[in-house]
Copies of this chain bind each other. A is one copy, B any other.
Amino acid sequence: MTIRAGIVGYGNLGRSVEKLVKLQPDMELVGIFSRRTGLDTDTPVLPAERAAEHAGEIDVLFLCLGSATDIPEQAAGYARHFTTVDTYDNHQLIPRHRAEMDAAAREGGHVAMISTGWDPGLFSVNRVLGAALFPQPQQNTFWGKGLSQGHSDAVRRVPGVRRGVQYTIPSEEAIAEARAGRGAEITGASAHVRECYVVADEADHAAITEAITTMPDYFAPYETPVHFISEEEFERDHQGMPHGGHVVTSGDLGGSRSAVEFVLELESNPDFTAAAQVAYGRAAARLKAQGETGARTVLEVAPYLLSPTGLDELIRRDV
């Protein structure tokens, strides 16, 4: 079956989904729904407010919308008319999002695949898989090396900062402790360094460093080196959106220890988030085709549903 895909939203994530859908052997991209006109794309752009009119032409709709306000305000509306897949990432509110999407998707007879991407998403799968193997699992998640969008925004709000980025870097020693089963004492703050690169006038450097390193919640509990660099260095070295991380689970198995680790190294966070969203979009379209309805998390998806290759061939090749 060819899966007819649509996209809502055309920021970094939407652009990544667009290029990856075009590379799938079993998908075709019908259009991008947007409230804006004049998007720089060859894909047909359709007005978002009239999306429902296209419900019959689309098997899965990729919701490439922000988690802060767009998903809470708009996602359920789309789920009434389409099988959807989102990357909603506000961990604490996922149960509420799930309930809302479940009700909307059931109302329309669709599937709503929620909170895909990598964390939540692939990391969630590996947390559950890892913990299921051990009677008393010790589990730690580490993030980075990666660009932290929210913390970079916080750096840029400091007076005098002309340009700024912040990278989260996990401590190698903390990861080694987790692998050895001694991760119980590790906290987010002890396991990560928050490294900042800032462009600013030299007269402001001391005040900026003080303002960043003492900022409550964001930086105060962390080791936070602040590096001042030139505009040219910023342009050359800090335009990417790398990210990654580790999920480490270890434990005793009745007399022996084992450790399970899942690692990501991503040159582009939006591209990889989109890659996971596209694979789970395939699964959503298949579940809907099988007659299922309602919200589904990544924990409820059998691995073969993510692949364009058929089950028999996967078993021959990969099992």
Please classify how large the interface on chain A is, using the bins under 10, 10 to 19, 20 to 34, 35 or more: 35 or more
**CB of A19 to closest CB in B, whole Å:** 4
Q: Contacts A94-B315, A132-B279, A314-B128 given: A267-B258 contact, CB under 8 Å?
A: yes
CB contacts (< 8 Å) of A122 on chain B: these are 129, 260
A271 within 8 A of B: yes
Q: Using a CB-CB cutoff of 8 Å, which residues 271-319 of chain A contact chain B?
A: 271-272, 274-276, 279, 282, 297-304, 306-309, 311-312, 314-316, 318-319
**CB of A132 to closest CB in B, whole Å:** 4
A264 within 8 A of B: yes
Q: Contacts A256-B271, A297-B319 given: A128-B264 contact, CB under 8 Å?
A: no
Q: Contacts A302-B300, A304-B128 given: A264-B260 contact, CB under 8 Å?
A: yes
Please tell me if the beta carbons of B315 and A98 are within 8 angstroms of each other in the complex: yes
CB contacts (< 8 Å) of A24 on chain B: these are 135
Q: Contacts A255-B19, A255-B271 given: A303-B265 contact, CB under 8 Å?
A: no
Please tell me if the beta carbons of B261 and A266 are within 8 angstroms of each other in the complex: no
A213 within 8 A of B: no
Q: How many copies does the complex hold?
A: 2
Q: How far is the CA of A98 from the CA of B312 in the complex (A)?
A: 10
Extra A-B contacts (8), CB below 8 Å, given A94-B316, A253-B268, A263-B263: A127-B318, A257-B267, A258-B271, A258-B275, A259-B266, A260-B264, A299-B304, A299-B315
Which A residues are within 8 Å of any B CB, using their own CB?
16, 19-20, 23-24, 91, 94-95, 98, 115, 120, 122, 124-125, 127-129, 131-135, 179, 253-268, 271-272, 274-276, 279, 282, 297-304, 306-309, 311-312, 314-316, 318-319
12 CB < 8 A contacts A-B: A95-B312, A125-B129, A128-B306, A129-B306, A131-B309, A132-B279, A133-B276, A133-B306, A256-B271, A258-B271, A299-B318, A301-B303
